[in-house]
Amino acid sequence: MMKQSDWFQPGPLIRSAVLIGTLLLTWLAYVPGLHGGFLFDDFANLPALGSYGSIRTWTVFWRYITSGIADPTGRPLTLLSFLLDARDWPADPFPFKRTNLILHLFNGVLLYLLLIRLGRLITSDTTRCHIGATFGAAIWLLHPLLVSTTLYIVQREAMLPATCVLIGLLLWLRGREGLICGRLKSGSLWVVLGLGGFTLLGTLAKANGVLLPLYALLIEIIVLAPRQPLGRGSRRSIYRTLLVLLGWIPTATVVGYLLWVGLHGIAAGAPMSRPWTYGERMLTEPRVLMDYLRLLWLPHPFSSGVFNDQYSASTSLLHPITTLFSLLAIAALIVAAWRWRRRYPALSLGVLFYFGGQLLESTSIALELYFEHRNYVPALLMFWPLGLWLGDMRTLKAPKRFLLIALPLSLALMTYLRAEVWGDVQTQALVWARMNPDSARAQANAAQIEMAQGRPQEAIERLLKSMVSQPEQSQLVFNLIGARCMTGGIDGADLAAARAVMASTANPGGLFVNWFGRMLPVVVEGGCPGLTAAHLSGLIDAGLANPGLSQSGPRQDLVYLRGRIALAQHQPNTALADFERALDLQVRPGLALEAAATLGAAGYPGQGLQMLDHYKTVQNRAESPGPGMPMVHEWVLSRQHYWQDELARLRHQLFIDANADSANTVGYSTVQGTR
């Protein structure tokens, strides 16, 4: 009969049961969040599922899978995975979240297998090895910081690279072991598949999949080379060649690219649409990384979630002073991890793996400063060293046994509480607004929820409070106008604030376009006292006079919106002229198609035909997309004659409508003449 103390000398059945129990506990902790809705970037990416109609044929499939615009690759592997959950849009968010959670659990199993392999090289104590792997995987699976990755549907693009990294490392380790045993051909194939094939797949999910070779080099240098040498002869020569081709060269390319971006960025100054310079971003990221580490090692049941626009950039090493302290702390951690790599290989690997995993998103590329999901892959090995220490039962047996149980359960409770917030969009918005009082995005989001719940006065109070310190934030100003419309109308001060924002904002993104689309029908119907079509035109004119919106894309949006105002006022020729001007700024068949269809739907098919005629005269000026997936997508559409067929179909329908209008007009005139 097994003694109670033998629980920590587990056999295969107990180890399997503990792993399955960990997966079940993770599922239960996340269940409350599965019933949440779509959020922010979900709406920017997932509608592609219906952009070309329901994805039921190979023709539509190829249009969809090449439609991604993030990264040069377009992240097609992530787009492909969304087809598991829906093939059209709108869709139900539940299947997407469920798939994300299943993928998270699968990644936890892969992590366990990787940690077992690495643990066997570090310790001969089988029990310690398995406890370390189980604990390391459990803490990662249950950590509340990863909720904002797992339950944020679009962040599957951060989860799939983890899957590819883990599978790639496992296959590479198998191939390396095969080479040691003299299986040169099969060993080489496994190495190529692991480091080559899965680096490619990971990159097709998201660009940070390209860091897989760096992770392999760290494992090779810190764990493998000192403990599992390949010896001499052909196997060593083959392996070293493969490691150079699939490890060192890709890693050096990535590091070189980041250095080039940093140096070029510092010389260029501020990136477009960012409130900070490249140099300020690189000064800020050490603070960001130290905050990530704080949240990883001192977890909380709640966090800032997806709102981080309030995070201020460092302007020098001393402003704020934490910039210098953070930089020194990170340098000390990296140097110490490198120096102690032989004595504490697991700890060294965990530290260097983490900072290596942050290279792409937390250095010189001009991404936003802070996002929790950037820790998903870098934190994979973070808790493994602690698990190995707890698994060493030669000392402090009772405290270690307590921690082995208490820590995962504590994290499971925190994750459950955070998942509850993610499971209710309304609660989520209000909690994040309370936790991020200086975030304009969080306050605007909470105000939208309050308006949707029929509480516009509370939204007004919230927005006015935020505008005291951030009057330049367009999302606050335009949401305030929306709330005012629900409570009796707007005044001159509201319009003045809106004009000031449009005259000074550097990047309204799709905010103004979306707001305009909601407000124009309200204005036309007289649903917002104090706001007229002339006022909307004035806002557009202020934007057109803004030097920060001088690029062709923003100007095209504004001129097109001006045409929609004219169309709403039953001025089809004026609308046509604006639509043509918008098209001339950046010739795109999609815009021509939309403008012509809009004119036709408004009852002016003749002007719609003229719009198509204008596009025909300028279509040769259309710019070819840059290298990457946009070019592939354009090739697919061209190969399928997509634009040609769509334009011809629309022209045919507009021609029929125009002839029908002409016949009706003649008939009406004839009847009138006989009276």
pLDDT digit string (tens) for 171-220? 999 999 999 998 999 999 999 999 999 999 999 999 999 999 999 999 99
CA-to-CA distance for 549 and 557, rounded, in angstroms?
10
Is position 164 within any domain? yes
Contact 289, 322 (CB under 8 A): no
Q: Which domain holds residue 200?
A: 21-422
pLDDT band at 7; cut points 50, 70, 90 = very low
First to last CA, the chain: 109
pLDDT of 9 reads: 60
pLDDT of 665 reads: 53
pLDDT of 226 reads: 92
DSSP 173-185: HHHHHHHHTT-HH
pLDDT of 663 reads: 62
pLDDT in tens, 212-271: 999 999 999 999 999 988 877 888 899 999 999 999 999 999 999 999 999 998 888 777
3-state secondary structure 79-131: HHHHCCCCCCCCCCHHHHHHHHHHHHHHHHHHHHHHHHHHHHHHCCCHHHHHH
pLDDT of 516 reads: 86
pLDDT in tens, 324-376: 999 999 999 999 999 999 999 999 999 999 999 999 999 999 999 999 999 99
Q: Please state, for a pLDDT cut of 70, what percent of the chain lies above it.
A: 96
Is position 641 within any domain? no
Please give the radius of gyration of the chain, using alpha carbons only, rounded to the nearest integer.
Answer: 29
Is position 585 within any domain? no
Residues 6+ apart with CB under 8 A from 88: 49, 50, 53, 54, 55
Is position 533 within any domain? no
Is position 661 within any domain? no
pLDDT band at 1; cut points 50, 70, 90 = very low
- φ, ψ of residue 43 to 5 degrees: the values are -75, -20
Contact 209, 164 (CB under 8 A): yes
The number of angstroms, rounded, from the C-alpha of 188 to the middle of its chain's C-alpha atoms is 35
Which is higher by pLDDT, 108 or 430? 108
CA-to-CA distance for 211 and 301, rounded, in angstroms?
30
pLDDT in tens, 515-548: 888 888 988 888 899 999 999 999 999 989 988 8
Q: What is the pTM of this model?
A: 0.92
Is position 434 within any domain? no
Is residue 468 packed enough to be buried (19+ CB in 10 Å), middle (13-18) or exposed (0-12)?
Answer: exposed
Statement: residue 2 has pLDDT above 70: no
Is residue 369 packed enough to be buried (19+ CB in 10 Å), middle (13-18) or exposed (0-12)?
Answer: buried
Phi-psi region at 641: left, alpha or beta (left = phi > 0; alpha = psi -120 to 50)? left
Residues 6+ apart with CB under 8 A from 638: none
Residue 500 amino acid letter: A
Give 316's strand partners.
319
Distances (CA, A) of 107 to 137, 214, 287, 569: 9, 19, 28, 56
DSSP 142-153: H-GGGHHHHSSG
Is residue 183 packed enough to be buried (19+ CB in 10 Å), middle (13-18) or exposed (0-12)?
Answer: middle
pLDDT of 239 reads: 94
pLDDT of 103 reads: 98
Residue with tokens 């191939």: 175
pLDDT of 8 reads: 52
Statement: residue 638 has pLDDT above 70: yes
Statement: residue 397 has pLDDT above 60: yes
Which is higher by pLDDT, 309 or 572? 572
Residue 326 is encoded by which pair of tokens?
A: 């953070």
Angle at 254 between CA 248 and CA 260, to 5 degrees: 130
DSSP 326-379: HHHHHHHHHHHHHHTTTTSHHHHHHHHHHHHHTTTTSSSS---S--GGGGTTGG
Statement: residue 5 has pLDDT above 80: no
pLDDT of 199 reads: 98
Residues 6+ apart with CB under 8 A from 496: none
Statement: residue 664 has pLDDT above 80: no
Q: Please state, for a pLDDT cut of 90, what percent of the chain lies above it.
A: 75
Is position 674 within any domain? no
Contact 496, 516 (CB under 8 A): no
pLDDT of 10 reads: 66
pLDDT of 448 reads: 92
**Residues shown for the chain:** 675
Statement: residue 670 has pLDDT above 50: no
Which is higher by pLDDT, 5 or 453? 453
What average pLDDT does the segment 311-334 reach? 96
pLDDT of 509 reads: 64
Statement: residue 673 has pLDDT above 70: no
Is position 35 within any domain? yes
pLDDT of 508 reads: 67
What's the domain count of the chain?
1
Q: Compute how many other C-beta atoms are within 10 angstroms of the C-beta atom of residue 626.
A: 9
Residue 394 is encoded by which pair of tokens?
A: 């030669």
pLDDT in tens, 580-595: 999 999 999 999 999 9
CA-to-CA distance for 18 and 116, rounded, in angstroms?
14
